[in-house]
Amino acid sequence: MNGNRSVDEGLAQKVRAAAAELNYSASPVARSLVLGKTNTIAVVVPDLENPTFHGVLRGLSRAAARDGYHVLIADSAESVDEERILAVETRRRCDGIVLCAPRMADADLRPLLSELNPVVLVNRDAQFSGTPVIVADYKAGLAELLTLLYGLGHRSLAYVSGPRRSASNARRLAAVREFLGDHSDATIQIVPGGVSFADGYYAVERVIASATTGVLAFNDLVAMGLMSALGERGIRVPDQISVVGFDDIPFARYMTPPLTTAAVPVAELGEHAWHRMWDLLHERRPGRPTNFRPQIVNRGSAGPVPASKAVR
């Protein structure tokens, strides 16, 4: 027998030898049917292309593999409707689902969560009991970035925002408000942005119009797009304007100047998501939300306020 029971060791040896000889191993599909578990989990992402999800996926898949689990991927192509169907459909072929930053509204998410159970949520929180949540602490990250810029003398700031309805944007906005409350001499203008390089690129006019000296972008992609557009206009970063991003995607360090940003430990997010899933699969208590605090990486894109604009 492959497992273990009260079997004669000699016999077991021979059986194993024969199995090896015949290159036999039990069919995972048949086992899945009878055991009621597939040893597979699925992860649903809005877009496989997004650098953030790569990291999560990699951390997750390697961690799961170490525990003998397989991972199914489902790319919802940013479609909210698709996301629901996909998750439910996929769930049936595996033991649990990891939902990455689901786009759907809270009201839709709630019932889905119980239908999908067990599920762990990455980068989207929801105060629903029983669903572990792994998030990057966007608020703390942005607060630190604000402090950094403030410390460099910047008082007139701009925040190039993310998607209006995005939870992680709301988090950053909360940090902005809080900061404003604590620093009455600072001003922060909100400039509509988005999530992509292009969004940052096209935000340049409004950023320039804001006449601010330091800008915080929703994420690194937006920051890079902005820097690129700034560069084309001959505006030097950080000499004339400071720009900071968020995420620390692999290329952030390779920009010129290298991007100052808040590093989100994506692979760890993924790894952690797996551990929570494992707990769920083995009926451990869910545990409280895990907050990963981003780490500020101070590279070259943020500098002191240009002398000409310094407030005396």
Which residues of this protein are in contact with a second copy, per CB under 8 A? Answer: 25, 27-30, 32-33, 38, 40, 47-49, 54-55, 57-58, 61-62, 65, 70-75, 77, 86, 90, 92-93, 197, 224-225, 228, 231, 250-251, 254-256
Residue closer to a second copy (CB basis): 55 or 102: 55
Q: Tell me which DSSP letter residue 243 carries.
A: E
CB of 91 to DNA, least distance (A): 14
Distance CA 173, CA 148 (A): 17
Distance CA 232, CA 18 (A): 70
Residues 6+ apart with CB under 8 A from 160: 191, 192, 193, 199, 200, 203, 207, 215, 216, 217, 218, 222, 223, 226
Give me the residues that bind DNA (CB under 7 A), please: 1-3, 5-8, 11, 24-27, 30-31, 33-36
Distance CA 257, CA 216 (A): 15
CB of 56 to a second copy, least distance (A): 10
Residue closer to a second copy (CB basis): 11 or 85: 85
CB of 271 to a second copy, least distance (A): 13
CB of 64 to a second copy, least distance (A): 10
Residue closer to DNA (CB basis): 7 or 77: 7
Distance CA 220, CA 229 (A): 14
3-state secondary structure of 165: coil
Q: Are strands 187-191 and 156-160 parallel, antiparallel or unpaired?
A: parallel
Distance CA 41, CA 72 (A): 6
User: 256 contacts which partner out of DNA, a second copy, none, CB within 5 to 8 A by kind?
Assistant: a second copy
Residue closer to a second copy (CB basis): 109 or 223: 223
Distance CA 142, CA 145 (A): 5
User: 90 contacts which partner out of a second copy, DNA, none, CB within 5 to 8 A by kind?
Assistant: a second copy
CB of 20 to DNA, least distance (A): 14
CB of 52 to DNA, least distance (A): 36
Distance CA 214, CA 240 (A): 9
Strand partners of residue 189 = 158
Residue closer to DNA (CB basis): 29 or 307: 29
Residue closer to DNA (CB basis): 9 or 185: 9
User: 19 contacts which partner out of DNA, a second copy, none, CB within 5 to 8 A by kind?
Assistant: none
Backbone angles phi, psi at 8, to 5 degrees: -60, 130
Residue closer to a second copy (CB basis): 159 or 197: 197
Residue closer to DNA (CB basis): 5 or 282: 5
User: 287 contacts which partner out of DNA, a second copy, none, CB within 5 to 8 A by kind?
Assistant: none
> Which one, of 287, 290, 280, lies nearest residue 41 by Cα?
280
Edge-first strand listing for the sheet containing 187-191: 187-191, 156-160, 214-217, 242-244
User: 5 contacts which partner out of DNA, a second copy, none, CB within 5 to 8 A by kind?
Assistant: DNA
CB of 68 to a second copy, least distance (A): 9
User: 4 contacts which partner out of DNA, a second copy, none, CB within 5 to 8 A by kind?
Assistant: none
